[in-house]
Amino acid sequence: MASTFGLRIVSPNGDVLKEDVEFVVLPGGAGELGILPNHAPLIAGLDIGVVRYTINGTVKRLALAGGFVEVADNSATILADTAELSENIDLQRALAAKERAAKRLTSPTSEVDVKRAEYALRKAVARISASEDKK
């Protein structure tokens, strides 16, 4: 059996995931961040994107809408703005959200908050990317 470490993901709604994992890849502010067992202590900001984690050789995914990670004592804790397991993502809803956000950005009016529309678009794309690998 491969060496593991604890991964816990918490959102404002409570625990999203608590598992022993072999590897995790996180969307950092400057690119992806990989964590293996016995990683050096670390605190980092996280961006919108897909978290990939490996359990018993199987890669799983979840959509993350930013937050922070703390790595210490052979565990990683993510404090997420929002996090959604791939199996819980409604792909049709995510596609509709992407379409709405893209429409707001391509035809902005004075009532459109561009930053909010960009955030919604990035979040929808992350949800779609996480959802597409449900196999």
pLDDT of residue 133: 60
pLDDT of residue 135: 43
Reported pTM: 0.88
For the domain made up of 5-86, give the CATH fold. Answer: ATP Synthase; domain 1 (2.60.15)
pLDDT of residue 109: 73
Average pLDDT, the chain: 91
> pLDDT exceeding 90 applies to what percent of the chain?
79
pLDDT of residue 1: 54
Parallel, antiparallel or unpaired: strands 42-55 and 5-11: unpaired
Q: Where are the beta strands (DSSP E) in 12-74?
A: 14-21, 23-28, 31-35, 42-55, 58-72
pLDDT of residue 111: 74
pLDDT of residue 106: 86
Domain borders along the chain are: 5-86, 90-131
Q: In angstroms, rounded to a whole number, what is the distance separating the alpha carbons of residues 61 and 27?
A: 12
The list of the chain residues with pLDDT below 70 reads 1, 108, 133-135
User: Which CATH number is 90-131 given?
Assistant: 1.20.5.440
